[in-house]
């Protein structure tokens, strides 16, 4: 793409007195900045759009949102009944989320497509639930999840409540690419409501979501307060989880809830944290202060669109320990399976699903209960596909799915990560184990004693712009060209290349076919665990994952440290 010519086109079309126009004027003569904004269009993939807000093709703005929505409208117009079934649109607390949501709703309405628009900020699981509740053909969520405040995004969902698969995404992308970004028309929202093209969603859909979520409680007898209520601290990190998490925990009556007041109100600038990410223990500092004040034993935190949940637990020393997504998912998985078994309600045809970069402890737990554990590529839409397949089976039941990146889903009422439901189940688990004289950390240690000690980590390497894209691509190619037989003294058992669809046994060079779809992912199976490398699908990053397991903690930690050191050294030399 001729980025200089595209910049000039934008200068001529965008109103000079608008915020975007002023941005364009401000970067005049700055070739590097112009290149970054215009060297390509913001990628539309299975995760939709995500990028820094601002003027340009490679930014999130009203023109990019309008173009994407017009492409979706053109795609839907070719599907029978799609216009009448409609599209559900929700938005979180990020700056411009409500504006982009109304822009998308106006474009769809202009094309005669019915829209269900949430009246106030909402969450990913509520959007996913609403799609199937209203039998809509698709859904749009305006959010950039846990990214820093300068980002926003545009997630697209299909009728089953999960995000688009590669085939649908490719078809929509073709339509988007045929849309002139400056020719998109949008109907005024008030006019669209008057014409019956936009229906506003409020309390009724919220109540339906709460009712569905509460059916997943495993020990409803705990609601009767036959125990001393537990104290729970919760922070929504200025996001959309504030209302639904509080309301659901209030309705279940499982705890005494304390809210971090400084982080209670929705604010797209996220003024109290570097990033609103519950994976980052730094985001828990204010919550820890409150937890120490009220003597709470658990802290919950959700990201802006409430599809990710982080927790911290009080150790015997009094200090708080931040759990990884792998540890939280393993605890939830064990709690759900053991509770179902206790009540003779565990379906022998039950299904658990997790990504290939998620802890192998989950596999061990499932084996212990005689339950199948499916591994899928990274991206929760792959788990949503497993749920859809279970729905078509007369015996199969989807029980639980999770990813290492703090995304969890129990049951099948929603089809994407649900931090609200996960918060409810974790609080119930704390209450349940309290009646047994245990804490969640006690249970985690029991799992390690039974199945071995597991340590996992995720490392991200940011590489922006055209040069960054090339360095990431070159790094993946270098990895594929490596002929290593060991890493840090640990034998490589097999190398799985999901781009070629082959697994190569390093002992005899034999090949087997991989069952998962093609993807730019390499996973290396070690005698002591595994490691995996892939480009991010939503950010200019390369992600590396490492999982090590051994019988005892000290052995696992020693192996983990040595392998991680060699892996990071290799990646630092290319991307550091």
Residue 566, domain CATH: 3.30.310.50
Instruction: Judge whether 85 lies within some domain.
Output: yes
Cα(104)–Cα(142) distance, integer angstroms: 9
Same domain membership, residue 304 and residue 205: no
Rg (alpha carbons) of the chain, rounded to whole number: 24
pLDDT of residue 228: 64
pLDDT of residue 265: 96
Same domain membership, residue 476 and residue 375: no
Cα(50)–Cα(227) distance, integer angstroms: 45
What is the tally of structural domains in the chain? 4
Instruction: Judge whether 215 lies within some domain.
Output: no
pLDDT of residue 224: 60
Instruction: Judge whether 481 lies within some domain.
Output: yes
One of 41, 93, 97, 145 is an active-site residue; which one? Answer: 145
Same domain membership, residue 88 and residue 188: yes
Same domain membership, residue 380 and residue 491: no
pLDDT of residue 568: 95
Instruction: Judge whether 365 lies within some domain.
Output: yes
Same domain membership, residue 125 and residue 247: no
Among 451, 474, 507, give the residue marking a domain's end.
451
3-state secondary structure 150-203: CEEEEEEEECCCCECCHHHHHHHHHHHHCCCCCCCCCCCHHHHHHCCCEEEECH
**Predicted confidence (pLDDT) per residue in 50-89, tens digit:** 999 999 999 999 999 999 999 999 999 999 999 999 999 9
Same domain membership, residue 65 and residue 48: yes
443: left (phi over 0), alpha (psi -120 to 50) or beta: alpha
Can you give the residue range of the structural domain that contains 1?
1-35
145 is catalytic: yes
Among 430, 451, 472, give the residue marking a domain's end.
451
Instruction: Judge whether 521 lies within some domain.
Output: yes
Same domain membership, residue 414 and residue 279: yes
Same domain membership, residue 380 and residue 238: yes
Cα(295)–Cα(492) distance, integer angstroms: 47
User: Closest Cα to residue 459, out of 530, 396, 545, 398?
Assistant: 545
Distances (CA, A) of 569 to 470, 537, 555, 564, 566: 19, 24, 22, 8, 5
Same domain membership, residue 324 and residue 245: yes
Q: What is the pLDDT along the chain (576 residues), one digit of tens a residue?
A: 689 999 999 999 998 879 999 999 999 999 999 999 999 999 888 779 999 999 999 999 999 999 999 999 999 999 999 999 999 999 999 999 999 999 999 999 999 999 999 999 999 999 999 999 999 999 999 999 999 999 999 999 999 999 998 899 999 999 999 999 999 999 999 999 999 999 999 999 999 999 999 999 999 888 765 556 799 999 999 999 999 999 999 999 889 999 999 999 999 999 999 999 999 999 999 999 999 999 999 999 999 999 999 999 999 999 999 999 999 999 999 999 999 999 999 999 999 999 999 999 999 999 999 999 999 999 999 999 999 889 888 889 999 999 999 999 999 999 999 999 999 999 999 999 999 999 999 999 999 999 999 999 999 999 888 788 899 999 999 999 987 889 999 999 999 999 999 999 988 889 999 999 999 999 999 999 999 999 987 778 999 999 999 999 999 999 999 999 999 999 999 987
Q: What angle do CA 413, 414, 419 make, to 5 degrees?
A: 120
In the 8-state DSSP scheme, what is residue 48? B
Same domain membership, residue 55 and residue 25: no
Task: State the CATH number of the domain containing residue 48.
Answer: 3.40.120.10
Cα(60)–Cα(42) distance, integer angstroms: 8
Instruction: Judge whether 75 lies within some domain.
Output: yes
Same domain membership, residue 11 and residue 83: no
Q: pTM here?
A: 0.94
């Amino acid at each position: 793409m001729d980025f200089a010519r595209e910049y000039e086109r934008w200068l001529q079309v965008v109103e000079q007195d608008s915020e975007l126009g002023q941005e364009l004027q401000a970067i005049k003569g700055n070739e590097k900045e112009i290149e970054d904004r215009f060297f390509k269009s913001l990628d539309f993939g299975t995760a939709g759009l995500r990028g820094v807000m601002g003027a340009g093709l490679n930014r999130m703005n009203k023109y990019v949102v309008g173009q994407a929505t017009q492409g979706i409208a053109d795609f839907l117009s070719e599907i029978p009944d799609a216009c009448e079934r409609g599209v559900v649109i929700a938005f979180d607390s990020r700056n411009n989320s409500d504006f982009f949501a109304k822009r998308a709703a106006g474009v769809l309405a202009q094309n005669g497509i019915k829209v269900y628009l949430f009246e106030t900020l909402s969450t990913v699981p509520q959007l996913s639930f609403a799609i199937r509740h209203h039998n809509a053909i698709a859904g749009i969520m305006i959010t950039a999840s846990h990214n820093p405040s300068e980002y926003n995004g545009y997630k697209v969902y299909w009728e089953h409540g999960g995000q688009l698969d590669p085939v649908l995404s490719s078809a929509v992308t073709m339509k988007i690419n045929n849309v002139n970004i400056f020719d998109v028309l949008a109907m005024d929202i008030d006019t669209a409501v008057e014409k019956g093209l936009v229906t506003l969603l409020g309390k009724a859909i919220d109540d339906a979501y709460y009712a569905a979520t509460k059916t997943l409680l495993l020990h409803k007898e705990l609601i009767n307060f036959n125990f001393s209520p537990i104290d729970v601290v919760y922070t929504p990190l200025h996001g959309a989880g504030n209302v639904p998490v509080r309301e659901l925990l209030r309705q279940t009556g499982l705890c005494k809830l304390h809210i971090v007041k400084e982080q209670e109100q929705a604010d797209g600038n996220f003024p109290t944290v570097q990033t609103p990410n519950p994976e980052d223990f730094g985001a828990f500092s204010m919550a820890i202060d409150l937890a120490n004040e009220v003597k709470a034993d658990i802290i919950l935190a959700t990201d802006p669109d409430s599809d990710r949940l982080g927790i911290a637990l009080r150790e015997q020393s009094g200090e708080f320990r931040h759990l990884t997504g792998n540890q939280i998912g393993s605890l939830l998985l064990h709690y759900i399976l053991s509770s179902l078994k206790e009540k003779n309600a565990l379906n022998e045809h039950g299904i658990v699903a997790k990504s290939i970069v998620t802890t192998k402890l989950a596999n061990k737990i499932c084996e212990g209960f005689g339950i199948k554990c499916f591994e899928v590529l990274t991206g929760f839409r792959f788990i949503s596909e497993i749920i859809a397949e279970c729905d078509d089976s007369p015996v199969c039941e989807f029980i639980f799915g999770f990813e290492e990146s703090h995304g969890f889903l129990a049951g099948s009422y929603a089809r994407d990560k649900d931090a609200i439901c996960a918060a409810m189940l974790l609080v119930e688990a704390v209450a349940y184990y309290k009646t047994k004289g245990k804490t969640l950390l006690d249970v985690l240690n029991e799992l390690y004693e039974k199945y071995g000690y597991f340590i996992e980590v995720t490392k991200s390497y940011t590489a922006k712009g055209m040069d960054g894209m090339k360095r990431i691509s070159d790094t993946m190619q270098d990895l594929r060209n490596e002929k290593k037989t060991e890493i840090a003294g640990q034998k490589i058992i097999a190398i799985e290349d999901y781009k070629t669809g082959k697994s190569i046994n390093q002992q005899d060079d034999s090949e087997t076919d991989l069952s998962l779809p093609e993807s730019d992912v390499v996973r290396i199976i070690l005698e002591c665990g595994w490691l995996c490398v892939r480009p991010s699908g939503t950010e200019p990053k390369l992600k590396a994952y490492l999982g090590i397991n051994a019988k005892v903690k000290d052995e696992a930690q020693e192996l983990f440290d040595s392998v991680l050191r060699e892996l990071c050294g290799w990646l630092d030399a290319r991307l550091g």
